[in-house]
Amino acid sequence: MLHRLDRAGSRTESTMIEFHDDWFEPYEDEDEGEDDDHVGVRPAAMHPDGPARVAALAGFFEAEGFSRTPPTRARYARVESRLHEFLDDVDVAPFIGTGPAALLVAERERERAGAFLRIFGFDELVCCLEGFLLDPWLPVHAGERRTQISLAKRLLEHMRLQGWFDQMIVSCAYYDTKNAIERARREAVGRRPVPRARVDGLRLVDPWSW
C-alpha cells in the first residue's frame, strides 16, 4: 500500500501524523531535484497488503512461541488475540489524527474484524501501539500483564529490525512507544516483585516473557 504521510503534523510530543487526500499516491523520486518536502516511495516490503501484514504479525507470534512451554505459548496466543481486538476497537484519532480515524470508522462499518490492517500499514501500527500499553488493554493479572509488555517490546524491535516501518517518518512514535513500554514495566514492578530468570529447556528465559 503506497501512502503519503505529511511530517508537518504533530501531537504534543510530535507524534501525530497528518494525512492528506493524496496519501495513497507515491511521492516524486528524490533524484528529480524537487524541494525537500517530499519523500521517495518506500520499498514494497515496507507497505505489504493487508493479508501480508496479518501473516507477518502471525509469523512473529509463532516464532516467539517456538520451543516455549505450552502455558507460555498459550499466554502469547492471548496477547496476539488482544492485539487484534485492540486494533479492531481502539480510537486511533489520538495517535494518527481524525482523518485516518474517519477512514477506519468507515472500514469498520463495512467489516470490523481486521479493518485496521486492511487499510493501514506498520507505520500506523507503530503510532498506535503505545495505546496497547495502557489500561484497559493491559490485563489485570500480573503474569499476563508482564507477558503483554514483553511481547510489545519485542514486536516493536522486530518491526524495526525487519524494516517494516519508516523510521524517518515515525521516529517520534517509535520512541514514545519505547517510553510507554518502560513506564508499563516500572508500574508492573510496583504491583509485584520482578521474578527471577529461570531456565526453560536449554536457554535462560527473560522473566518478563512468562
Contacts of residue 80, Cβ cutoff 8 Å, sequence gap at least 6? 57, 58, 61
Q: pLDDT tens, 183-201?
A: 999 988 866 554 555 555 5
Q: What is the pTM of this model?
A: 0.70
Q: What is the pLDDT of residue 103?
A: 97
Q: What is the pLDDT of residue 74?
A: 96
Residue range 107-124: mean pLDDT, rounded: 96
Band (128; pLDDT cuts 50, 70, 90): very high
> Is a pLDDT exceeding 60 seen at residue 175?
yes
Asked whether the beta carbons of 178 and 167 are under 8 A apart, the reply is no
Average pLDDT, the chain: 78
Query: Nearest-CA neighbor of 158 among 182, 134, 210, 122?
Result: 122
Asked whether the beta carbons of 1 and 49 are under 8 A apart, the reply is yes
* Neighbouring C-beta atoms of residue 57, cutoff 10 Å: 21
Greater confidence (87 vs 38) lies with 87
Asked whether the beta carbons of 149 and 181 are under 8 A apart, the reply is yes
Question: Which of 5-14, 92-101, 115-124 has the least mean pLDDT?
Answer: 5-14
> Is a pLDDT exceeding 70 seen at residue 130?
yes
Q: pLDDT tens, 131-163?
A: 999 999 999 999 999 999 999 999 999 999 999
Q: Where are the alpha helices (DSSP H) in 113-209?
A: 115-119, 122-129, 142-161, 167-191
Asked whether the beta carbons of 169 and 5 are under 8 A apart, the reply is yes
Q: pLDDT tens, 15-65?
A: 444 443 333 333 333 333 333 333 333 444 455 677 899 999 999 999 999
Question: Which of 86-95, 108-117, 195-204 has the least mean pLDDT?
Answer: 195-204
Asked whether the beta carbons of 39 and 103 are under 8 A apart, the reply is no
Query: Quick check: helix, strand or coil at residue 186?
Result: helix
Kindly state the percentage of the chain with pLDDT values over 90.
63
Provide the residue count of the chain.
210
Q: What is the pLDDT of residue 198?
A: 53
22 vs 2, 4, 11, 18, 165, CA distance in Å? 10, 7, 21, 12, 19
Contacts of residue 191, Cβ cutoff 8 Å, sequence gap at least 6? 142, 145
Query: Nearest-CA neighbor of 124 among 173, 89, 86, 81?
Result: 173
